[in-house]
């Protein structure tokens, strides 16, 4: 029996490693032929070692560049035509737009347009963003009429946007909650801090304003003289191509506070999660946040905003604390509650791990994604 050829199209290799690598390896284990079209900067050899075939392309996420985009359309067209993929799986708005144009006249493949979250497109209020949003909606409505084009989302809110706002046939929209988590790699190791001494509070994400990094820092600043046992650690890279990125100078200035520390992106985040008493994600919008999946699997209790994606994983006062978006006071109150209650932290940690094992492990998400693939072939 011949292998089913699947090609992922993702803007940058670090994102593939962080969000799709384990899932892609699972498909290889199950006799799929997997390829990746991406902008490779660091992880080319690691990806090739697993048997994934790679094709380099110069994606520019942050802006529209007509010449570069046309070049990419032509190059992706050549790659797809040469390899005869059965499924092309584009992740993120820019890869979706580029790949959907590329595949317009290809009949022998199925295109999966995977939204990892609608991001700044549906949160930013700038005039330029309204223009981008208008163009995006028009293009998605147009390509949704193609028989072999399908759409993948990670939460019910984004599914409603596609079906109700963009009027896409619901039979073409699939929901798979995230890309799975390796529960053996992210094993359960709850930090038992009975006396609530030296409480470590982490936030690990891209350093974007829309992730709530400013609110996280503001809480640290408020509490620096009131709660000397609390330490705030922000871990992540500055995503320079994202319009919501925080500036390096701001981070360096923040780090002058005695109870606040910024650590650049770490490929292996586990040791920081295990050392933390609490993990926060005060984000404005998410698809299904990988950082919370990691926290829940490792046994670190979570505080996050009550928004789609986050509230898929965290139920308030059951396995974590939900807070209001863009609310410093709401985040502050939740931190103080958990920082003083080791028993509650332990309860949240155990319930979160049970949820991950039941619904979000890499094996379970593979089965869900494979079911989608089988339906569209």
Domain of residue 77, CATH code: 3.40.50.2000
316 falls within a domain: yes
Q: What angle do CA 63, 264, 196 make, to 5 degrees?
A: 130
188 falls within a domain: no
Range of the domain at 221: 199-359
328 falls within a domain: yes
186 falls within a domain: no
187 falls within a domain: no
- Residues 160, 209 within the same domain: no
Structural domains of the chain, count: 2
Sign of CA dihedral 5, 11, 13, 17: negative
Tell me what pLDDT residue 120 has. 58
Tell me what pLDDT residue 239 has. 83
Q: Furthest-apart CA pair in the chain: how many Å?
A: 67
- Residues 143, 224 within the same domain: no
283 falls within a domain: yes
How many other C-beta atoms lie within 10 A of the C-beta of residue 25?
Answer: 18
- Residues 155, 223 within the same domain: no
194 falls within a domain: no
192 falls within a domain: no
Tell me what pLDDT residue 123 has. 60
- Residues 218, 174 within the same domain: no
- Residues 138, 151 within the same domain: yes
- Residues 172, 76 within the same domain: yes
- Residues 291, 370 within the same domain: no
Tell me what pLDDT residue 312 has. 96
- Residues 140, 205 within the same domain: no
- Residues 86, 156 within the same domain: yes
- Residues 206, 270 within the same domain: yes
CA 362/CA 368 separation, integer angstroms: 10
- Residues 9, 52 within the same domain: yes
User: Mean pLDDT by 10-residue block, N- to C-terminus, for the chain (377 residues)?
Assistant: 92 93 96 96 94 91 74 94 96 91 91 81 68 80 91 93 90 95 96 92 95 97 90 92 86 94 93 98 94 98 97 97 97 97 97 98 97 96
- Residues 122, 243 within the same domain: no
């Amino acid at each position: 029996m011949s292998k089913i050829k699947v090609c992922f199209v993702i803007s940058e290799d670090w994102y593939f490693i962080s969000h799709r690598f384990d899932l892609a390896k699972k498909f290889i284990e199950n006799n799929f032929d997997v390829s990746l079209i991406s902008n490779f900067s660091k992880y080319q050899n690691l990806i090739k070692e697993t048997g994934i075939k790679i094709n380099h392309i110069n994606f520019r996420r942050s802006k529209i560049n007509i010449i570069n985009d046309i070049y990419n359309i032509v190059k992706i067209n050549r790659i797809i035509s040469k390899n005869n993929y059965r499924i092309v799986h584009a992740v993120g708005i820019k890869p979706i737009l580029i790949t959907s144009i590329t595949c317009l006249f290809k009949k022998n493949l199925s295109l999966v347009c995977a939204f990892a979250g609608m991001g700044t497109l549906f949160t930013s209020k700038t005039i330029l963003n309204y223009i981008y949003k208008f163009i995006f909606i028009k293009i998605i409505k147009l390509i949704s009429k193609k028989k072999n084009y399908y759409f993948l989302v990670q939460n019910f809110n984004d599914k409603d946007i596609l079906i109700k706002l963009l009027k896409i046939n619901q039979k073409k929209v699939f929901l798979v909650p995230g890309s799975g988590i390796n529960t053996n790699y992210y094993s359960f190791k709850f930090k038992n801090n009975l006396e609530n001494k030296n409480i470590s509070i982490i936030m690990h994400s891209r350093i974007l304003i829309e992730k709530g990094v400013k609110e996280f820092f503001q809480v640290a600043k408020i509490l620096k003289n009131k709660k000397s046992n609390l330490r705030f650690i922000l871990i992540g890279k500055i995503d320079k191509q994202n319009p919501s990125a925080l500036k390096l100078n701001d981070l360096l200035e923040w780090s002058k506070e005695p109870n606040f520390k910024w650590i650049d992106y770490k490929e292996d985040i586990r040791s920081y999660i295990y050392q933390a008493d609490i993990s926060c994600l005060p984000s404005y919008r998410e698809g299904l946040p990988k950082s919370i999946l990691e926290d829940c699997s490792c046994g670190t209790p979570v505080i996050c905003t009550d928004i789609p994606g986050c509230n898929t994983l965290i139920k308030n006062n059951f396995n974590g604390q939900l807070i209001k978006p863009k609310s410093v006071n709401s985040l502050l109150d939740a931190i103080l509650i958990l920082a003083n209650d080791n028993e509650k932290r332990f309860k949240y940690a155990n319930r979160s791990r049970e949820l991950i094992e039941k619904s979000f492990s890499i094996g379970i998400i593979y089965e869900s994604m494979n079911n989608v693939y089988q339906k569209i072939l």
